[in-house]
Structure 1
């Protein structure tokens, strides 16, 4: 894989589009939510990946499912398999916790830094825009987000190009003037193919998968990304 560009090699975007689930929100408390309803706390990553898998499949088949619906349905299957007496109630409890997560510590100062660097900011989520808004409400970063967007009106989940193009049209910005920021390489690949610039937030020091095109920028946090873009030319 080619290395991500240094700050001085990156042209600062006019608009920064933010993925929400895991990129902004910290999923760590979901382990406790799983344990509270009788599931293994270690199964959260597998559940989340399964939600994405099923929703991606439905998107390919022409549907545009609700994240909450797919998330709850897959939880009910897991709870029933675990012998939990009330799978529906347990799924509702876990999804309620998912909707009340908090942002990673680097998010709020990083978003304010991106604004200081001259970037417009909007979210683009496969989940509900209301969940994204609630995530940042009252954090000190809510006033820097210009728009909370999701894929409900786009007709398809990310990484389908329609999702990114819908957001670009709403924000009246060309693809080359926008940057998608995410922790998910599949999201970055979709945005890259749609013509956007991309930034990978790599909080864990993981290796980027070789079978996908590299992000334009790699940063360990939103704070580092803001510093990089603030030092780059317009």
Structure 2
């Protein structure tokens, strides 16, 4: 089985954006509202076939959040958000868990809704780029996750069926999309992330990548 990892929130910690939202909105919790708006924006883009790069949508979500709160979102603030997204820190459990999986012979794939250039920079500045056998972006298929073409893109790279992939993410919508495409799924319950078992049950789940990787190493062959 080939392991496929989501990036933002799953491996990289968007809580690092809290000071920016505190400065702009006077409330760090607005970060969550912005991210939900961003998710809504790319879901709409996926459903309507109106693909735009991730950075464009991130800025749009910030502008929309600003309008709701009566806060001016100028070009400088939009640019600053993108700069911060490019330098998100990894969750502490990421590097050791990826190293353990590589040592056991698993093939590791990064699959992001961001652009390829952006995710390469994000992973490189955290020293994680070399942990992956390949880094893929939905830019190549102009379809965001949870659209099925995004997961098929990863399968096509490896010349396998989606059934040979395990999608690992901190987002229920990502895993539901992956399962619909035929993948196995593994959920990381990062802070604030939940999944409703009456709606969807992933194949594996844990509250850290350390625990999740141990489950996978015990049950999934490389």
TM-score (norm 1): 0.86
Question: In the alignment, what sits opposite 2:39?
Answer: 52
What's the CA shift string for 1:6-52, capped at 9, x where partnerless? Answer: xxxxxxx2x11100110011011111011233452111111101111
Moved more, 211-220 or 78-87: 78-87
Equivalent position SS for 1:64:
coil
Question: In the alignment, what sits opposite 2:90?
Answer: 103
Give 1:72 deviation, angstroms.
0.6
Give 1:194 deviation, angstroms.
0.7
What runs of 5+ residues in structure 1 fail to find an aligned partner?
A: 1-12
Distance 1:57 1:38, change over 3 A: same
Correspondent of 1:153 among 130, 140, 143: 140
Question: In the alignment, what sits opposite 2:103?
Answer: 116
- Give the whole-Å Cα distance in 2 for the aligned partners of 1:233 and 1:20: 21
Larger helix percent: 2
1:208 and 2:200 correspond: no
Equivalent position SS for 1:227:
helix
Distance 1:174 1:37, change over 3 A: same
RMSD of equivalent CA atoms: 2.0
Check whether the contact 1:18–1:121 (CA below 8 A) recurs between aligned residues: yes
1:170-185 aligned within 5 A: 170-185=157-172
- Give the whole-Å Cα distance in 2 for the aligned partners of 1:158 and 1:197: 15
Distance 1:92 1:205, change over 3 A: closer
Check whether the contact 1:39–1:79 (CA below 8 A) recurs between aligned residues: no
Distance 1:206 1:167, change over 3 A: closer
Question: In the alignment, what sits opposite 1:190?
Answer: 177
- Deviating beyond 6 angstroms after TM superposition, the runs of 4 or more aligned structure 1 residues are none
Check whether the contact 2:172–2:194 (CA below 8 A) recurs between aligned residues: no
Distance 1:90 1:224, change over 3 A: same
Equivalent residues, number = 221
- Give the whole-Å Cα distance in 2 for the aligned partners of 1:56 and 1:206: 18
- Give the whole-Å Cα distance in 2 for the aligned partners of 1:213 and 1:80: 34
What's the CA shift string for 1:131-152, capped at 9, x where partnerless? Answer: 3222222545322201111111
1:223 and 2:210 correspond: yes
Question: In the alignment, what sits opposite 1:17?
Answer: 4
Task: Tell which has more relative contact order, 1 or 2 (C-alpha 8 A, sep 6+).
Answer: 1
Question: In the alignment, what sits opposite 1:142?
Answer: 129
- Give the whole-Å Cα distance in 2 for the aligned partners of 1:42 and 1:95: 18
What's the CA shift string for 1:72-114, capped at 9, x where partnerless? Answer: 1221233355555562221211221112111100111111111
What runs of 5+ residues in structure 2 fail to find an aligned partner?
A: none
